[in-house]
């Protein structure tokens, strides 16, 4: 894909590696050919994307801003020995905190620890002396006594999000969406809120609890809403001030209205306005530039109700969008021919808009680790009545590919030379197509039975929803229709996709799990559920074979067409579970296939993986947009690609940090 390269000099995609993380860079091809007004729009939206960063830190855990500011103060102001191993370990820990937007791993949600002693940490604070985020009236001893256990004591906040079945999910989670509230109390609170809405005849479809913290104050439970004048006001005010500038250079009237409605939502915190905004946003299809900005995804809340703040600024990649448009234009055909029970199919698939985008800026929960595809809005009723917008972020997947070339993963874990060859030849197109199908069709397909709200599956809802979208994609990857539509010209594409999906679900994704741990993350649960269940269903015919060679485990697919039929069966069952809100069946599937890890296999995989020295997780440094001023007016905007991860983080903390340490 030489057209992705915007400069003739070789672009360095991989910036640095530490712990289990790699830091990459991405280019923004096409930015230079935007009009000045469009460049300004991207610039203002990008500033808004950075302005909310502190919010996510605080949402993830109430001490995260305190820890981050403590570490940054040491990093900048400590004047002692900075070359020793201890200090270098402190730097690695700081980089990890930046990456995870807090002290819990961004993916596993487990607390991670610095490889230094508590004594050394205290010494650094005492020698640095000033500049720490102390509470009013607190002295250095009091400050150390409060902050050190947060970092070092394994009993304090061990998990940001607990999914441990049978325990109180809220009291076991460190995330900052609930204060002194049990799972039952939160459940009752929102149950009552919904009942009140029914009684009063107000909107019962809004996303209750999405933008607030639930607090128990002296036995009374109430919501603290994220808005101007409410919780996180100082950061939201900055986001809004940049959005106001963006509204002034909107591409058209509709987009202007979209931005203004978002501003109104941030000012009121009113979830009705949030829905109004989403309906407008989903209909904004003509603008070249687009954005995500708000409290959107609920993976950070064990109850799947409260959303973390995120932003993504982007514009359309016209050539690649043609591919997604072909899929979307045939959405009804895919729906009508899906292997699910006809009563769970959508009679009319509406507004499945699909496009491939170029990311220009990542913020909040999209930074530095970012999704590669997005399908929004999340509210079921809006998706049903107005459709959804679905995007694949091609410059990001391209950067991933470029950064991982030659890292040895494929050679170590693929089961044959033929498999490696297919992956090299078709892997990139296969995974882009999978993402398109997952986002454009998968999430938007199917319908709920009358009276089912969509939240019946509770904490199992996320992995099951991902499994539904993945199965939809997998099933159709092997359909001759894709060839008829000109999307692929060789069956090697779908074979490569099946190989890599099953290999990932059964083997390679385990490289992301720590020894002894189970799987908690929704997408990972989804992938193991699909691969493990498919293995089980095809066992008597040996469709997926697990082979042991030289004490190394490999998986081979013996019959790709038969596997496709199994995917169809699984899709039908998961759609039934969602459509009927069958919590028991959903729970059984996830718990049986998606959670447990075979210890012996895991040990072997980690052993092989460690020899490759590859970081299993990645994130990105943002490009920087620099306005060119002439006589006080913006006359052009240049894009720069910094290669200094720590520099960017420090810059954000210095110049784009607006919240108090404790909120």
Residues that bind Zn ion (CB under 5 A): 466, 469
The span from the CA of 19 to the CA of 358, in Å, is: 29
Minimum gap (Å) between residue 157 Cβ and Zn ion: 28
Minimum gap (Å) between residue 86 Cβ and Zn ion: 42
Please state the φ and ψ torsions of residue 415, each to the nearest 5 degrees.
-90, -10
For the chain, how far is it from start to end, CA to CA, in angstroms? Answer: 47
30 vs 442, beta carbon nearer Zn ion: 442
Q: Which residue is nearest to Zn ion (CB)?
A: 469
25 vs 578, beta carbon nearer Zn ion: 578
The span from the CA of 663 to the CA of 73, in Å, is: 20
317 vs 466, beta carbon nearer Zn ion: 466
75 vs 469, beta carbon nearer Zn ion: 469
Minimum gap (Å) between residue 542 Cβ and Zn ion: 31
Omega before residue 377 within 30° of 0, cis: yes
Q: Widest CA span of the chain, in angstroms? A: 76
**Beta strands 212-217; 178-179: pairing state:** parallel
23 vs 437, beta carbon nearer Zn ion: 437
Minimum gap (Å) between residue 509 Cβ and Zn ion: 16
Minimum gap (Å) between residue 365 Cβ and Zn ion: 15
Minimum gap (Å) between residue 312 Cβ and Zn ion: 15
Tokens 């997780």 identify what position? Answer: 617
Q: What is the DSSP string of 501-552?
A: HHHHHHTGGGGGS-TT----SHHHHHHHHHHHHHHHHTGGGTSEEEEEETTE
The span from the CA of 649 to the CA of 647, in Å, is: 5
393 vs 469, beta carbon nearer Zn ion: 469
With 0-12 / 13-18 / 19 or more C-beta atoms within 10 angstroms meaning exposed / middle / buried, residue 288 is: middle
352 vs 469, beta carbon nearer Zn ion: 469
The span from the CA of 437 to the CA of 390, in Å, is: 10
143 vs 299, beta carbon nearer Zn ion: 299
Minimum gap (Å) between residue 392 Cβ and Zn ion: 11
45 vs 477, beta carbon nearer Zn ion: 477
What is the token pair recorded at 312?
A: 């993504």
375 vs 499, beta carbon nearer Zn ion: 375
> Looking at the chain, how many residues does it have?
663
Residues 612 and 407: beta-carbon distance below 8 Å: yes
469 vs 577, beta carbon nearer Zn ion: 469
With 0-12 / 13-18 / 19 or more C-beta atoms within 10 angstroms meaning exposed / middle / buried, residue 532 is: buried
Minimum gap (Å) between residue 504 Cβ and Zn ion: 15
The span from the CA of 310 to the CA of 252, in Å, is: 24
Q: What b/e readout covers 30-66, taking b as 16+ CB neighbours within 10 angstroms?
A: bbeebeeebbbbbbbbbbbbbbbbbbbbbbbbbbbbb
Please state the φ and ψ torsions of residue 651, each to the nearest 5 degrees.
-60, -45
Nearest one of 617, 603, 611 to 523, comparing CA atoms: 617
Minimum gap (Å) between residue 570 Cβ and Zn ion: 16
124 vs 524, beta carbon nearer Zn ion: 524
Nearest one of 109, 164, 94 to 617, comparing CA atoms: 109
C-alpha count within 13 angstroms, C-beta hemisphere, residue 265: 22
Residue 481: C-alpha distances to residues 326, 486, 493, 564, 612 (Å): 11, 9, 13, 14, 39
Nearest one of 571, 32, 78 to 315, comparing CA atoms: 32
Minimum gap (Å) between residue 438 Cβ and Zn ion: 6
469 vs 605, beta carbon nearer Zn ion: 469
Minimum gap (Å) between residue 616 Cβ and Zn ion: 20
Residues 37 and 643: beta-carbon distance below 8 Å: no
The span from the CA of 482 to the CA of 224, in Å, is: 49
128 vs 278, beta carbon nearer Zn ion: 278
């Amino acid at each position: 894909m030489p057209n992705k390269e915007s400069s003739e000099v070789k672009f360095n995609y991989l910036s640095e590696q530490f712990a289990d993380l790699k830091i990459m860079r991405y280019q923004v091809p096409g930015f230079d050919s935007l009009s000045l007004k469009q460049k300004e729009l991207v610039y203002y939206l990008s500033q808004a994307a950075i302005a909310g960063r502190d919010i996510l830190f605080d949402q993830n855990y109430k001490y995260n801003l305190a820890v981050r500011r403590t570490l940054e103060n040491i990093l900048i102001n400590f004047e002692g020995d900075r070359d020793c191993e201890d200090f270098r370990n402190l730097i690695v820990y700081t980089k990890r905190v930046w990456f995870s937007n807090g002290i819990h791993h961004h993916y596993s949600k487990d607390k991670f620890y610095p490889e230094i002693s508590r004594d050394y940490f205290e010494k650094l604070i005492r020698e640095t002396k000033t500049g720490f985020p102390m509470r009013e009236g607190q002295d250095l001893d009091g400050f150390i006594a409060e902050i050190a256990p947060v970092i070092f004591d394994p009993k304090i906040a061990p998990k940001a999000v607990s999914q441990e079945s049978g325990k109180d999910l809220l009291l076991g989670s460190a995330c900052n969406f609930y204060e002194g509230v049990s799972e039952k109390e939160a459940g009752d609170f929102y149950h009552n809120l919904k009942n009140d809405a029914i009684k009063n005849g107000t909107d019962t479809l809004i996303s209750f609890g999405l933008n607030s913290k639930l607090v128990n104050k002296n036995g009374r439970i109430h919501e603290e809403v994220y808005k101007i004048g409410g919780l996180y006001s100082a950061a939201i005010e900055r986001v809004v001030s940049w959005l106001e500038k963006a509204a002034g250079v909107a591409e058209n009237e509709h987009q202007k209205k979209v931005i203004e409605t978002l501003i109104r939502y941030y000012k009121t915190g009113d979830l009705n306005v949030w829905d109004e905004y989403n309906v407008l946003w989903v209909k904004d299809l003509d603008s070249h530039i687009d954005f995500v900005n708000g409290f959107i995804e609920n993976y950070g809340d064990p109850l799947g109700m409260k959303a973390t703040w995120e932003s993504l600024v982007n514009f359309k990649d016209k050539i690649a969008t043609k591919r997604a448009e072909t899929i979307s234009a045939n959405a009804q055909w895919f729906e009508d021919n899906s292997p699910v029970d006809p009563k769970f199919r959508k009679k009319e698939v509406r507004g499945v808009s699909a496009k491939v985008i170029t990311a220009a800026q990542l913020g909040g929960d999209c930074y530095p680790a970012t999704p590669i595809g997005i399908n929004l809005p999340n509210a079921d009723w809006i998706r049903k009545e107005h459709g959804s917008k679905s995007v694949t972020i091609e410059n990001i997947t391209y950067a991933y590919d470029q950064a991982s070339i030659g890292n040895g993963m494929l050679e170590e874990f693929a089961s044959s030379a033929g498999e490696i060859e297919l992956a090299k030849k078709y892997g990139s197109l296969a995974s882009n197509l999978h993402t398109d199908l997952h986002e454009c069709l998968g999430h938007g397909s199917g319908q709920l039975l009358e009276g089912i709200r969509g939240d019946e599956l509770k904490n199992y809802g996320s992995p099951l929803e991902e499994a539904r979208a993945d199965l939809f994609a997998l099933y159709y990857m092997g359909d001759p229709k894709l060839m008829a539509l000109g999307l692929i010209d060789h069956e090697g594409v779908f074979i490569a996709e099946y190989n890599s999906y099953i290999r990932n679900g059964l083997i390679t994704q385990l490289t992301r799990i720590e020894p002894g741990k189970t799987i908690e993350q929704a997408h990972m649960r989804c992938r193991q559920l699909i691969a493990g269940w498919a293995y089980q269903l095809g066992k008597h015919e040996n469709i997926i074979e697990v082979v042991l060679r030289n004490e190394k485990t490999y998986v081979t697919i013996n019959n790709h067409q038969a596997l496709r039929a199994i995917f169809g069966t699984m899709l039908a069952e998961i759609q039934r579970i969602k459509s009927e809100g069958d919590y028991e069946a959903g729970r059984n599937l996830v718990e049986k296939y998606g959670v447990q890890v075979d210890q012996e296999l895991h040990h072997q995989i980690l052993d092989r993986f460690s020899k490759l020295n590859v970081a299993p997780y990645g994130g990105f440094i943002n490009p920087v947009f620099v306005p060119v001023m002439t006589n006080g007016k913006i006359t052009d905007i240049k894009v720069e690609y910094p290669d200094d991860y720590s520099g960017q983080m420090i810059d954000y903390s210095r110049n784009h940090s607006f919240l108090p340490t404790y909120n």
